[in-house]
Amino acid sequence: MKSGLSFLIAALRCEIDELDQLARTSALVATIGRLVHALQRERGLSNVFLASAGQRYAEERAEQAAAGLREEEAVRACFDRLEADAGGVGNGARLFSRIAWVLPGLDALPALRRRISAGELTAAEATAAFVKLIAGLLAVVFEAADGATDPEVSRLLVAMFNFMQGKEFAGQERACGGAAFASGRNDADRQQQWLHLIESQERCFQVFVEFAGEGMAALWHGSQPAAQLAEQERLRRVACAAPAGVVLDPELSTAWFDCCSRRIDAMQSIEERLAADLRRICERRIAQARAELEAHEALLARLPAADGTASPAFFDEPPIQERQPRALETPATYGRQLERSILEMVQDQSHRLQAMSEELDTVRAALNERKLVERAKGLLMAHRRLSEEEAHKMLRRTAMSQGRRLVEVAESVLAMAEYLPGGPAR
């Protein structure tokens, strides 16, 4: 007959398996981050290249495409490793569905690059293609964060996802401004898009700061020199504050691209630091769990064979929720003291798992809010024929006018879904 300690050991082995999977998922997120960074730079260079009719950044763009290919190969290798251990992925159905969606985009990259080289696409069309692919890669990161089962790891993954999303909006701003300056003109639609990208960045970085902790937030703010921010703001005003149709100096395209690139490269350094912190947390948690497992296995080896006699210690202990967890102590003798020690370990494990579950619920609230807002935007886009930007603005304006949170407005929109043609959003 198995003892309670045997099943506690089994629980620890499951926990170690989950942590090993989290470590692999975190490595995938870091690898995706490097590919996204390469694609973002390639997108910006491609925009200037197309808007200048091939006069600027031709060589730089080719070099960047080669760098992107190396990062792409690393991501594909991570995908293959995950697929080989598909049974161990907790949210595998959603995660693998995202990967299945993004792989055709990676397959189509060579053709996209050839069309850009031949000048067959406009800057806006090239941007849209890169945005779609990067969005797919970030969706994989989102599922990785949503599937994390350790609250400390989950918190950092949420921070990293929002930081990567904010960095993507910064990359889109670089591409948008690069096309505007290189073409020598701006229009009202592009100005509105530009302002939306600026606001979207700030929203993502606010969530990042909330989940990353004070140290990482300070590192992020310290990575943005005042002079660099001032230069970017000056160039923003040149293009966005002037009346639509005003001629822009094409020579500023290089200054704009370099200014934005310095900021985005600093973001990449923060992202790499987040990835390193994720790796350290996973390694520490795995080491702790394995040490605990070894201690429990050693104790089990000393435990006399169970004879089916009920342990009176069970009824002497208070309920789990009324106890505080205690450090593991190896008893010196058998008998009642050993029974009580094993029961304490089981209760401490249950208490710890309950605390982890409660913290995990708190962390996942941010991801759930994002899901609600995205679903509400999708509903408005489908039934009001709005763009993603217009749908988001409608939700935000409603929230401001009613003094409500954005997620509360999104919930109200979704509650009305059944009254709209086609039924509720899925």
pLDDT digits (tens, 9 = 90+) for 256-296: 999 999 999 999 999 999 989 888 888 888 898 888 888 87
16 domain residue, yes or no: yes
* pLDDT tens by residue, 64-111: 999 999 999 999 999 998 887 766 666 677 888 889 999 999 999 999
Burial 386-416 (b: 16+ CB within 10 A, else e): eeebbbbebbeebbeeeeeebbebbbebbee
Instruction: Evaluate whether residue 69 is within a structural domain.
Output: yes
Determine whether 385 is exposed, middle or buried from the number of CB atoms within 10 Å of its CB (0-12, 13-18, 19+).
exposed
Using CA atoms, how far apart are residues 129 and 135, in angstroms rounded to an integer? 10
Establish if 59 belongs to a structural domain.
Answer: yes
pTM of the model: 0.75
pLDDT over threshold 80, residue 224:
yes
Cβ(57)–Cβ(254) under 8 Å? no
**Cβ(146)–Cβ(158) under 8 Å?**
no
d(CA 160, CA 175): 22
- Decide if 310 is inside a domain: no
Domain that holds residue 22: 4-286
pLDDT (0 to 100) of residue 294? 86
Whether 388 is covered by a domain: the verdict is no
Of the two residues 323 and 74, the one the predictor is more confident about is: 74
Residues 6 or more apart in contact with residue 326 via CB below 8 angstroms: 344, 348
Reported as a single tens digit per residue, the pLDDT across 366-389 is: 667 777 777 788 787 877 777 777
At 193, list the tokens.
Answer: 């898009």
User: For position 212, what pLDDT does the model report?
Assistant: 86
* pLDDT attached to residue 317: 52
Does residue 414 sit within a domain? no
pLDDT of residue 197 exceeding 80, the answer is: yes
197 within domain boundaries: yes
Q: Is 379 a domain residue?
A: no
What is the mean predicted confidence (pLDDT) over 297-312? 61
Whole-angstrom Cα Rg for the chain: 26
Q: How many domains does the chain divide into?
A: 1
Contacts 24+ apart (CB under 8 A), 306-310: 306/1, 306/2, 306/3, 308/1
